[in-house]
Structure 1
Amino acid sequence: MDICIAGAGAIGCTLAARLTKSGQNVKVLARGATLETLQNKGIRLTDVDGEHQVNVVASDSAETLGKQDIIFVCCKTPALPSVLTLITPMLHEQTIVIPVVNGIPWWYLQGVEGRFAGANIEAIDPAGSVSKLIPQHHLIGCVIFITAFREAPGVVTSTNPHLIVLGEINHKMTERLENVRKLFEEAGIEARATDNIRDQIWTKVAANLTSNPLSVVTRGSLEQLYGDPRLKPLVRNLLDEALLVAAAYGARIRFDPYTFMELGAGMGAVKTSMLQDYEANQTLELDAIGYAVLELADKVSIPMPITKQLLDLTHFIASSHPHFKQN
């Protein structure tokens, strides 16, 4: 299969390295200094299985890379409109597009029946502008549990075991879903196919919402956020608000709150992706991780006052940054 990784950050390089090493035909859509590094030096990934040095075909031109069977969109949510527009020349009728993104995906209210079926979420899909870019039949949902750090362009360290959960956005089990799952399994990444990807989305959203914004405010690690007695009550309140909204949308989260907090603390001295973005003067994913959740909560008349205050505080801190680029 022809596989493209669109976006060569920490997650994109991790997937590109593991899939290439397993023998897949992988190309990378990148730009700038990262593109130059990939073309000249390839990708160096250090993870729990050791160090992997792989050479990849990389370009900043979708036309040059050609039609693809699978495209993994590995970018921050603010960049989605531009990246989804960029990959359009690589699509054929059967191309599978898998957005590897944080937070609530733009397609969350699409593909299944329900009170809000087909509606768009303004925080991440204003006036349906993102939904218009990729037809629904191309999409497979994805929730990724990989902790990775970009040390330099094309150089990534990932210290925890890799896990990816995949699911059709209509909750059907399909042959193409199983084929994608097997690709990851053969690449040494634990992969699970599910008949309800939204359950997994809410599990990851709860983790992001209780850790990412607060990490920018406190500069704390996951171990501190979930383990420090001064922060735990706040984090538990955030978690309770998130779980209530998840339940209102029928999501089943397999971890009870106490176990959830223990697992978070057990991640160790890890910086959240949002704190890494803040320190690197990058745009924060507050819309997908936070404000989209508030919008969904408002649709079902569930207040999230503590979450709202924390998000606004984080936004204020980010806006004071000299390179603030938040929408």
Structure 2
Amino acid sequence: MRTSQHTDAHAAPTLSISLHQLRLFVTLARHRSFTRAGDEFGITQSAVSRSIRELEDEIALRLFDRTTRQVALTDTGRRLLARIAPLVEELEATLRPHAQASGEAGVVHLASSCGLTASVLPAMLASCRERWPETSVVVIDRPQSAVLQLVRSGEADLGVVIAPDNLDELSAEPPHAHAGFRSYISPWHESIRNIVSCISEGSKATILRRRPMKICVYGAGAIGGYMGTQLARAGADVSFVARGPHLAAMQANSVKLRIDGEEHAVKVRCTNNPAELGTQDIVIIALKAHSIPAVVDLIPPLLGPETSIVTAVNGLPYWYFYKHCGELEGTALQSVDPGGRQWDVFGPERAIGCVLLPAAEIAEPGVIEHHYGKKFPIGEPSGEITPRLQALHDIMAAADMEAPMRDNIRDEIWLKLWGNLCFNPISALTGATLDVLTSDPGTRALSKQMMLEAKAIGDQIGVNFRVDVERRINGAGAVGAHKTSMLMDCEVKRPMEIDPLMTVVQEIGRLVHVNTPMIDAVLALIKLREGVNQGTARAQPAPQSQKAA
């Protein structure tokens, strides 16, 4: 029997687009140069141009404005980049471990001054091919001044020159100095160390590397310590600001991270005085959010003109309504930023949002134990994919952390806050773990009502909730017999994260005229619990009406 297939005349045509084209699109948007994008892929400028033109023809959209002097994204291109870049990054992150497991060749981008490319480099690279056939070297032949710039920008992994000067932020490895080089490069790029070793043998050339990114983790507790230790292992110049026995142990014995069945000891500069550390490229604020107001005036010594601040905190950050484009644009949230001090001292323009999804704990002073998860969604307040966001993503990826770049990081922040808002205080008040409080009919119903109140607020300020209430509650229950951070703080009478998780939602509710009776009630209870824990709860004078009665 013959079966015929009929095509719906109104069906959307199938697009023929490759992952290679999408990767080229993202790369060209980052470099804004057909030549540099081609160098990164090891293909010609004309091949990049042709592939991008085919992509534009296929989707019937113009993505770039091209002139003889520059390449710039169109408005359409910027909107598409914000959506495509995170998808390409997630797909590559998914495929990368499988590619590495199957022995995929390493690729090293080597910038070389013209004289060296023509004279000594061919013999060196032939030796490299013989010794490490699995490693590919893409040679970028440029004048010496251009070599320096390629290494500065990160477009080249290494640069090879003779007698360089004006190195600025670059570090020079003289001949035969490669033994200590590995501590400055990402561990996934073992190929680079091999190339450095090969070129250094019998050569008078100087090998250049980019200065390691300077990153200060302010609040090197469980999550901050995990992030910082991984970044240090990936080659970043990391420092920790910490305190107490944890600080003393890290200063004396290095930082120890237990992860994936192994323990890694990493030497990181640790202090309780940030003024000792100098200006940084990135400051990761990983304190409990309610602790930040007390240290605002200690952070400016870390900030240079280009320093970014990554808010690795639970709850809503101080910059939330910066570039929000809603009615509350520019609003400083008093419950998380009293008096707008963070807004004024840090500046919202420095901020990069970060959502904390992994779980870790301080097993003992100086020892951090990673439990699960490696994902830290990141994003600019504006939703743009900026060079600094890309740089943060790249160093986190090198450190074996997933950092998907989001075009609306506020949605991610709210998705986590949505559960923290109810699960944390209810668990602290009852002592129940997540599996119990999400399955008990009473506490499940209370959680749902609190979440619906929060959703009504989120709807007013443009939040997109990609899951419904029931699915969010079920997801929390699936975690199992897990104690929330607020419950653990309550048990040992540490200050709890009440304002960043609850009071701030109540505050925004009042700003947008949404009533929050269930949130108000639970907030009153957990604040009283906090007062009892801290010894500040006192009987209040009776109102006049009660005295008269």
One-letter amino acid of the counterpart of residue 475, structure 2: L
1:184 to 385, 396, 399: 396
User: C-alpha distance in 2, partners of 1:206/1:21?
Assistant: 33
One-letter amino acid of the counterpart of residue 281, structure 2: D
SS at match of 1:244: helix
**What 5-or-longer segments of structure 2 have no aligned partner?**
1-212, 538-549
User: C-alpha distance in 1, partners of 2:275/2:384?
Assistant: 32
The change in CA–CA distance for 1:224 and 1:53 in structure 2 (over 3 A counts) is: farther
- Does residue 121 (structure 1) correspond to residue 320 (structure 2)? The answer is no
Q: Equivalent residue for 1:279?
A: 491
Return the offset for 1:115. 0.8
Higher relative contact order (CA 8 A, sep 6+): 1
**1:91-130 map, 5 Å:** 91-130=303-342
**1:162-311 map, 5 Å:** 162-311=374-523
SS at match of 1:39: helix
What whole-Å deviation, never above 9, does each CA across 1:71-130 have from its counterpart, x for those lacking one?
101111222123332121111101111111111112111223221111221212223222
- Contact 1:6 1:29 (8 Å CA) reproduced: yes
SS at match of 2:304: coil
Q: Equivalent residue for 1:152?
A: 364
2:240 to 23, 28, 31: 28
One-letter amino acid of the counterpart of residue 55, structure 1: K
**1:37-52 map, 5 Å:** 37-48=249-260, 50-52=262-264
The change in CA–CA distance for 1:158 and 1:324 in structure 2 (over 3 A counts) is: farther
User: C-alpha distance in 2, partners of 1:48/1:221?
Assistant: 25
46-55 or 163-172, which deviates more: 46-55
User: C-alpha distance in 2, partners of 1:28/1:126?
Assistant: 26
User: C-alpha distance in 1, partners of 2:510/2:279?
Assistant: 41
User: C-alpha distance in 2, partners of 1:48/1:272?
Assistant: 23
121-130 or 68-77, which deviates more: 121-130
SS at match of 1:106: coil
Return the offset for 1:219. 0.9
What whole-Å deviation, never above 9, does each CA across 1:263-306 have from its counterpart, x for those lacking one?
10111221111112222322111111001100101111111111
User: C-alpha distance in 1, partners of 2:411/2:260?
Assistant: 27
**What 5-or-longer segments of structure 1 have no aligned partner?**
none
Return the offset for 1:174. 0.7
- Does residue 2 (structure 1) correspond to residue 2 (structure 2)? The answer is no
- Contact 2:293 2:337 (8 Å CA) reproduced: no
1:70 to 282, 294, 297: 282
- Contact 1:48 1:160 (8 Å CA) reproduced: no
Q: Equivalent residue for 1:137?
A: 349
User: C-alpha distance in 2, partners of 1:305/1:65?
Assistant: 47
Give the alignment's Cα RMSD to 1 decimal: 1.7
The change in CA–CA distance for 1:323 and 1:34 in structure 2 (over 3 A counts) is: farther
SS at match of 1:171: coil
One-letter amino acid of the counterpart of residue 395, structure 2: L
Q: Equivalent residue for 1:89?
A: 301
Instruction: Quote the sequence identity (%).
Output: 32
Return the offset for 1:223. 1.7
One-letter amino acid of the counterpart of residue 313, structure 2: V
Return the offset for 1:323. 5.1
The change in CA–CA distance for 1:70 and 1:324 in structure 2 (over 3 A counts) is: farther
Q: TM-score, normalised by structure 1?
A: 0.94
One-letter amino acid of the counterpart of residue 343, structure 2: S
User: C-alpha distance in 2, partners of 1:243/1:48?
Assistant: 37
Return the offset for 1:218. 0.8
- Contact 1:8 1:154 (8 Å CA) reproduced: no
User: C-alpha distance in 2, partners of 1:318/1:223?
Assistant: 24
Q: Equivalent residue for 2:84?
A: none
One-letter amino acid of the counterpart of residue 285, structure 1: E
Return the offset for 1:150. 2.2
User: C-alpha distance in 2, partners of 1:268/1:287?
Assistant: 26
User: C-alpha distance in 2, partners of 1:49/1:111?
Assistant: 43
Return the offset for 1:49. 5.7
1:61 to 251, 258, 273: 273
User: C-alpha distance in 2, partners of 1:49/1:87?
Assistant: 35
User: C-alpha distance in 2, partners of 1:33/1:313?
Assistant: 32
User: C-alpha distance in 2, partners of 1:52/1:253?
Assistant: 38
SS at match of 2:323: coil
What whole-Å deviation, never above 9, does each CA across 1:54-74 have from its counterpart, x for those lacking one?
221111222221111011011
The structure with the larger Rg is 2
- Contact 1:66 1:90 (8 Å CA) reproduced: yes
Return the offset for 1:2. 0.6
User: C-alpha distance in 2, partners of 1:116/1:161?
Assistant: 34
User: C-alpha distance in 1, partners of 2:379/2:299?
Assistant: 21
The change in CA–CA distance for 1:80 and 1:4 in structure 2 (over 3 A counts) is: same
User: C-alpha distance in 1, partners of 2:261/2:513?
Assistant: 47
- Contact 1:283 1:324 (8 Å CA) reproduced: no
- Contact 2:438 2:474 (8 Å CA) reproduced: yes
